[in-house]
Structure 1
Amino acid sequence: MCDSAGGDPSPDPGRYASLFSLGAEQAVAYARFRPMYPERLYDEIYDFAKLPVYEAALDVGTGSGQAALALARRFERVVATDLNERQLAQAPTVENVTYRQGTAETLDFADDTFDLVTIAQALHWFDLRRFYAEATRVLKPHGTLAAWVYERTFFDGNPAANEAMHDILTRKLGPYWADKCDLVHKRYEGAEPTPDEFRVCEMRTVDLTSDTTVANLAGYMSSWSAYNTYMKANPRAEDPLEAFKAAVLASLSGAQDDSVVVRVTTPMHLLLAREPVKN
C-alpha cells in the first residue's frame, strides 16, 4: 500500500493535494492504526549509518509521529515535519521532539544540521531530486538518509485471507491508488539517490510480524488514501472493508466477530544512503 500523509506531492501539488487533506476522522484513524515500526528496523539503520554521535535527527513526512517517537529514544533532539496540520495534531508530545509544518522539498534548516534524516512511507510523494538536494544540504558530512516503505500485509498461513487482501488492494481499490504508488510496488527500486547525491547507497528488508485483530487491521486500511478516494467516488456503494472483514472471518474457523486476533507479516523495504555529496 502506498500511503503516508506526509510530504509535498510535487512536482504538481494540485494533482495530489486532495490525498493529503485528511479530515479529522481519517487523521485519527491514521494515528491510531498505523503500525509502530520494529526496533529491528532502526537497528538496521544504525548499523548502516555508523554515526559517531546521535545529536539531531529529522523525520520528514512524519504523519502522526510514529518514527519521530522512536528516534527520540536515541537522539538528543528530533525535528519532525509534515504538510498536514491535522496529522501533526495527532502526534504525541515528547520533550525532545519538535513538530513543524513544512514540505519535503524546502527544508527550513541550516546546512549540516542533522546526523540522520528519515522518511517513513512517504518518499514516493516527493520530488526526489529537489528533496535529495535538500537532504544532502541539511545532513552533516557523516550523515545518513533512511527511507522505508511497505507494500502490503500478509496473513501467516492463511491463503484465503491473503486472497481477500489482494482482492481489496488490487481489484477493488486498484484504480484509486495514485500513480506515484508505482514506486511503492517497486519497493523503491528506481528511487535511489545518485552518486552525485550520496556516495554510498544500499537496500535492505525487515519483516514486521505482529498479532492484531481483524478490526484493527480494517481500521488501519481505512486510513489508506485509495480507500478514502473510493468512498468519496462511490458514496452509495457497499463499504469494501465490510466485505474484506467478512472474507477474513470466513477463513478463520469458528471466528464470530472482528475482535479475533490474527498474526500478520509486513515486509518493510529500506533505502539507505550515507555520506552526502556537498556542493
Structure 2
Amino acid sequence: MTRTFKDHFSGHAATYARARPTYPDALFDWLAGVPARRGLAWDAGCGNGQATVALARVFERVLGTDPSAEQIAQAAPAGNVEYRVEPAEAPTLADGSVDLVTVAQALHWFDLPAFYAQVRRVLADDGAIAVWSYGLSQVSRDVDAAFMRLYDQWLGNYWPPERRHIENGYAELEFPFARVDGVPAFEMAVTWTLGQYLAYLGTWSATQRYKAATGVDPIERIAPEFAAAWGEADTRVVRWPLVLRVGRQA
C-alpha cells in the first residue's frame, strides 16, 4: 500500500501555476535524445504541467499525472498532452509503453519503492528516466541574504522534512537505474519584477504552513526588507541550478 499523499500545494494551485519558474528548453531538447524513441513521455507528479507541456514539444504524446485534482485543473493544455488525476505509484499505463519518465521537483514526495516498481513496469526496454530538482534561488548578494533570513530564520521550523532532499540535490534518495553519463549542467533563469519574485516565495510549502499556523503572511512582513535589497531595478535575473539524474532500465 502506498503512503498517504502529502498535499502541500492544492490549496494555492492557481497561484502556484502563475508564480513558479519554468524549465529551460535546452533541458527538453537534450532529454529527447536520451531514449531510443520519442513516442510517449510520462511526467509523474506533474503539478500544473510546466514540464509536461515542455515535453510535448519534443515527444509525440505526453501523459501528465498528479494526485491533486486542483493542480491538474490548473495544468496548461496541449494537443498531444493528456492529464490524469492519479498518484505516481499507481499509473494507468500499459507495460513497456513509455519511452521517457520524468519527475520535475517532485521525487521527494513519492513512495519510492512503489514508484520505481511502476517505472520498471511501464518503461520500454530502451527507455529512460530523468528526475531533477532545483534548490535555492540566486539574485544578488543583498537579495540572497534576505532570502536566507526568510528561508532559515522565519520558515525553518515550517519546512516539511522532505525539503532536505531538495537541499542536498537528491543525494540521499535511491535511484536504482543504470546511470547515463555526460549529463550537461542546466539552470533555470527568469527575469522577474520584485512582485513576481515575492509571489514565488509565497508558493513555498513552508510559507503556506507558516500562514496557517500563525495567521500572518511572512512574505508581506518581510517584503520591505526585500524591497530595500532589490534596489531601483525594475527587474532582476533570478537563477536556480538544476540537479539532474538520468538512468535506463538496469
Q: Which residue of 2 aligns with 1:36?
A: 22
Change (3 A) 1:139 1:93: same
Q: Which residue of 1 aligns with 2:164?
A: 182
Normalised TM-score (structure 1)? 0.84
* 1:251 and 2:242 matched: no
Q: Report if the CA contact (8 A) 2:44-2:88 is conserved.
A: yes
- What secondary structure sits across from 2:186 in the alignment? strand
Q: How many residues align?
A: 249
Q: How many Å apart are 1:131 and its aligned residue?
A: 0.8
Write the mapping of 1:151-166 to structure 2, written as runs, cut at 5 A: 151-155=135-139, 158-166=140-148
Q: How many Å apart are 1:206 and its aligned residue?
A: 1.4
Q: How many Å apart are 1:174 and its aligned residue?
A: 1.1
Amino acid paired to 2:179: V
* 1:264 and 2:242 matched: no
* 1:223 and 2:223 matched: no
Residue of structure 1 aligned with 2:213, choices 233, 249, 261 = 233
- What secondary structure sits across from 1:179 in the alignment? coil
Q: Which consecutive aligned stretches of 4+ in structure 1 deviate over 4 angstroms post-superposition?
A: 201-204
Q: Report if the CA contact (8 A) 2:21-2:188 is conserved.
A: no
Return 199-208 or 132-141, whichever deviates more.
199-208
- What secondary structure sits across from 1:241 in the alignment? helix
Q: How many Å apart are 1:204 and its aligned residue?
A: 5.5
d(CA) in 1 for partners of 2:223 and 2:184?
A: 32
* 1:212 and 2:203 matched: no
Q: Report if the CA contact (8 A) 1:176-1:226 is conserved.
A: yes
Return 63-72 or 244-253, whichever deviates more.
244-253
Task: Give deviations 1:66-103, integer Å, cap 9, x for gaps.
Answer: 01101111111111100100111111221110000111
Return 203-212 or 134-143, whichever deviates more.
203-212
Q: Which residue of 1 aligns with 2:93?
A: 109
d(CA) in 2 for partners of 1:132 and 1:110?
A: 15
Task: Give deviations 1:188-246, integer Å, cap 9, x for gaps.
Answer: 1122422xxx22355664122221111111112211111111100001x3x22124332
Amino acid paired to 1:227: T
Q: How many Å apart are 1:145 and its aligned residue?
A: 0.6
Q: Which residue of 2 aligns with 1:6?
A: none
Q: Report if the CA contact (8 A) 2:23-2:51 is conserved.
A: yes
Normalised TM-score (structure 2)? 0.93
Residue of structure 2 aligned with 1:143, choices 127, 132, 150 = 127
Change (3 A) 1:85 1:252: closer
Change (3 A) 1:222 1:252: closer
Q: How many Å apart are 1:11 and its aligned residue?
A: 5.4
- What secondary structure sits across from 1:108 in the alignment? coil
- Mark the runs of 5 or more structure 2 residues left unpaired by the alignment: none
Write the mapping of 1:85-100 to structure 2, written as runs, cut at 5 A: 85-100=69-84
- What secondary structure sits across from 2:162 in the alignment? helix
Question: Structure 1 vs Structure 2: percent identity of aligned residues?
Answer: 35
d(CA) in 1 for partners of 2:232 and 2:70?
A: 40
